[in-house]
Chains A and B, each alone.
Chain A
Amino acid sequence: MSNRLPRDLWTEILVSLPVKSLLRFQCVCKSWKSLISTPTFISMHTQHSESTGNYAHILCWQLRFKDRATPYRLLHIDRSFNEFQELEYPCQMRRHGVIHDCKGLILFTTVIRDGQDDNRFDLLTLWNPAIRMSMTLPRPRIDVPKGKHCIHGFGFDHTSNDYKVLRMVQDSYRLFPVLQVEIYRLHTGAWETFPGADDFLYRIAPTWQAFVNGASHWFGYLKRKHMLSDVSSKPVVVLFDMCDEQLRVMKLPDNFKGWVKNLLGVSGGLLSLMEYNDRRQDVNLSCSIWLMKEYGVAESWTKQFTIDLKGWRFGEIFCFRNNEKILAWNRENGRESVLYDPKTHRFINIGGGLGIKAKDYLLSKSTLVESLVLLDKENSKQMCQTCLRKCQLCDSNKEKKMKICTRERRLSKAQENS
């Protein structure tokens, strides 16, 4: 007679399993399928995944101009930077612009031209690489006509356990640009516009967000009502709090000069700032890293260390990593990527080992957690390997580009042809 473990222990056992096992175990029986795809279990599993860090990986994106058909390649590099594994991505996301990631989900944005006029909107797709499922978001409410641009934010609200996508559409050229804001919440599956954002006093710099402390951060500048206004052009930090959904402003360090090519990032769970110092002949000679030791307290900005870029002719250093190493771009060696370890002050050349060739533009992000998010969404789809290759060839037909390929479609096509 075999012992039978009670139902209340199933969760405790399953919560520590990798997503691949859980996807397979949906087939065990109906109660397990139901359990594994409940939002509560998915949330618990993600939390567990994050805290144990067993399956957390550092993810890098690559942009290759040479190979037009596959403009982006995702690499998954483990903590030691010794291994990498290529990940497939949903075929409908080939022509995308900006990428963000947060807690196991990746957000792709693709700009779509809307008919004959100069109107545009973005097609947004959420992708969970661990379970190979993606979901396209409904069309946003705020379009992006000519003369405007859209800044995206993507984050996680721990108070409601929800992923949120932010769109801020801003005038590109006006002195006092109007701001329109809308937010998408994964739980509701809908966009909601925010009234009253148009009198927000700051122009937001169209750069990548830094997501920390439940909020997305960008550089911002006070808007000027007219050319001769004596309003200072000192930059600030503009943030959108994903929990209470408010736009706020924080000060930068007093001596901080400007935002051009400087970066906001996250380092060791703190908001950080990379500031370039000396610059000779278009080459940065050194840069400093600041950390906001106490979130929200301007006086707590501390210059942590300065990196001497001597002799290396560095290009931009463009991201921080959770484990304190900084990925950079070495112009000297044909734009190979290097890692800088602030503890040892040493540079480690990793370009060769990852198969990253010249002209590859490396975009690095933080640790990606394995999660089951999107499993319970009705309109999320599995990616199909065969269609991935097929779609790369069917470039001409715009409609095909936007269709989501499913396994059923491939199977039914196979049946048609047979």
Chain B
Amino acid sequence: MANNGENPSPDVGGKTVKLKADDGEIFEVEEAVAMELQTVKSFFDDDGVSYDTVVPLLNVSSTALAKVIQYCRRAVELRAKSGDDEGANEKAREEREGLEAELVREESDEGIKELILAANYLNIKDMLSFLCRAVGDRIKNKSVEYVRRFFVLENDFSPEEEERTRNEVAWAFEGVDAD
């Protein structure tokens, strides 16, 4: 059983799955948590793949994978808590929102992009959804230049074209955060 500082041993009592990050680090996770990652789920849905097989996740760094696993673990726990009781559902929803906020709060722009790419590759719908919303919140009051840097996009407008577009919606440039 692989054991390292970033991935404390899960409770024994259920099946586990091994996931390998791009640097070779192996994470052992409970089956229920691993199945949150649709990519992993599809991997095992194929006939003849044994649950002992290590899943190679070549496009995900170990830092990102650790955070993804931590998030999915909490998400699975919270989902188990909610049921028919509206009060419990509401509480679970609030906790999940708190969890999401915590995940992105300290992240740099590069960090959040890395998480999105991981969530995208691993096909975790809910996580990808809230990460996209978080990025949206982060950039909504930013300047055009900031957004270009964030998305690594070249300005392919001619100076005249850009000037024309800016003039058409000049009011939209008011109140923008300083870079």
Q: Which residues of A contact B (CB under 8 A)?
A: 2-6, 9-10, 12-14, 16-18, 20-21, 23-33, 131-132, 382, 407
- Interface pair B140/A18, CB less than 8 Å apart: yes
Residues of B within 8 A of A16 (CB): 132-133, 136
- Interface pair A26/B165, CB less than 8 Å apart: yes
- Interface pair B136/A17, CB less than 8 Å apart: yes
- Interface pair B113/A3, CB less than 8 Å apart: yes
Give the residue of B133, B154, B169 whose beta carbon is less than 8 angstroms from that of A26: B169
Known: A21-B140, A28-B153, A382-B169. 4 other contacts (CB 8 A): A2-B149, A2-B152, A4-B152, A18-B140
Residues of A within 8 A of B128 (CB): 12
Q: Does residue B66 face the partner (Cβ distance < 8 Å to A)?
A: no
Cβ contacts A to B, 9 pairs, < 8 Å? A2-B110, A9-B132, A21-B139, A25-B144, A27-B162, A28-B155, A29-B155, A33-B165, A407-B170
Task: Kindly state the separation between the CA atoms of A248 and B96 in the bound complex, as whole angstroms.
Answer: 48
CB distance from B141 to the nearest CB of A (A): 7
Residues of B within 8 A of A20 (CB): 171-172
Residues of B within 8 A of A14 (CB): 136
Task: Kindly state the separation between the CA atoms of A3 and B148 in the bound complex, as whole angstroms.
Answer: 12
Task: Kindly state the separation between the CA atoms of A67 and B144 in the bound complex, as whole angstroms.
Answer: 41
Those of B15-59 within 8 Å (CB) of chain A: none
Q: Is the interface of B mostly helix, strand, loop or mixed?
A: helix
Q: Which of B2-10, B74-82, B97-105, B114-122 interfaces with chain A? A: B114-122
CB distance from B114 to the nearest CB of A (A): 6
CB distance from B147 to the nearest CB of A (A): 5
Contact A407:B168 (CB < 8 A) given known A2-B110, A16-B133: yes
Give the residue of A13, A24, A33 whose beta carbon is less than 8 angstroms from that of B172: A24
Most B CB within 10 A of own CB, among A5, A18, A24: A24
- Interface pair A28/B151, CB less than 8 Å apart: yes
Residues of A within 8 A of B63 (CB): none
Task: Kindly state the separation between the CA atoms of A6 and B117 in the bound complex, as whole angstroms.
Answer: 8
Task: Kindly state the separation between the CA atoms of A24 and B169 in the bound complex, as whole angstroms.
Answer: 7
Those of B158-173 within 8 Å (CB) of chain A: 162, 165-173
Contact A382:B144 (CB < 8 A) given known A9-B116, A21-B139: no
CB distance from A326 to the nearest CB of B (A): 28
- Interface pair B167/A407, CB less than 8 Å apart: yes
Residues of A within 8 A of B176 (CB): 24
- Interface pair A27/B166, CB less than 8 Å apart: yes
Residues of B within 8 A of A25 (CB): 144, 147
Task: Kindly state the separation between the CA atoms of A2 and B152 in the bound complex, as whole angstroms.
Answer: 7
Task: Kindly state the separation between the CA atoms of A2 and B155 in the bound complex, as whole angstroms.
Answer: 17
Q: Does residue B86 face the partner (Cβ distance < 8 Å to A)?
A: no
Task: Kindly state the separation between the CA atoms of A33 and B162 in the bound complex, as whole angstroms.
Answer: 11
Task: Kindly state the separation between the CA atoms of A25 and B142 in the bound complex, as whole angstroms.
Answer: 9
6 smallest beta-carbon distances between A and B, as pairs = A3-B113, A23-B172, A24-B172, A23-B169, A16-B136, A4-B152
Contact A28:B113 (CB < 8 A) given known A13-B132, A16-B133, A407-B167: no
Residues of B within 8 A of A23 (CB): 169, 172
Residues of B within 8 A of A10 (CB): 151
Task: Kindly state the separation between the CA atoms of A402 and B33 in the bound complex, as whole angstroms.
Answer: 64
Residues of B within 8 A of A407 (CB): 167-168, 170
Residues of A within 8 A of B155 (CB): 28-29
- Interface pair B148/A5, CB less than 8 Å apart: no
Give the residue of B154, B167, B168 whose beta carbon is less than 8 angstroms from that of A29: B154
CB distance from B156 to the nearest CB of A (A): 5
CB distance from A406 to the nearest CB of B (A): 9
Task: Kindly state the separation between the CA atoms of A382 and B165 in the bound complex, as whole angstroms.
Answer: 11
Task: Kindly state the separation between the CA atoms of A12 and B120 in the bound complex, as whole angstroms.
Answer: 12
